[in-house]
Amino acid sequence: MTEPQDPNAPADDNLDDDWASALAEQTAATRPASQPGPEPEPAADEVFQPLLGAAPGGAAKADIDLILDVPVQLTVELGRTKLTIKDLLQLGQGSVVELDGLAGEPMDIFVNGYLIAQGEVVVVDDRYGIRLTDIITPSERIHRLNRR
């Protein structure tokens, strides 16, 4: 085991070696450019080049343009219910499954599984559509998660 050193005792060789190596590191770091030494690392702006066509003022617009063509899944939910496996296996053609959504109640609209809005069902040229009636704010999303 190593015994505690007395602060008044003379310094040993290990301590002198540590100081010598620290002094050598400091000298190497402050060496003038004319002396050989390790290459300095390039600045961040040399490593990370700006995107083509991105001006400093238009960087935010260039960033959003990158994702505008990314496809997302939009889903409209009429309602939900829970069934036992027994009840599920008894379903057949013509069976009616009762959902928790009420008639005339706004439908939930999800993008990639996240609730983003509510709307009402409309018919456009013999096809169903959804008219947005309410956009869900982030604080409302949290409130709705707490209710479930």
The predicted-structure confidence for 58-101, as pLDDT tens digits, reads as follows 566 667 888 888 999 999 998 899 999 999 999 999 999 999 88
Give Cα separations from 22 to 16, 33, 35 (angstroms): 10, 20, 19
- Contacts of 141 by beta carbon, 8 Å cutoff, 6+ apart: 114, 115
For residues 31 and 22, the model is more confident at 22
Output b/e per residue, 58-87; b: 16+ Cβ within 10 A: eeeeeeeeeeeeeeeeeeeeeeeeeeeeee
pLDDT of residue 95: 94
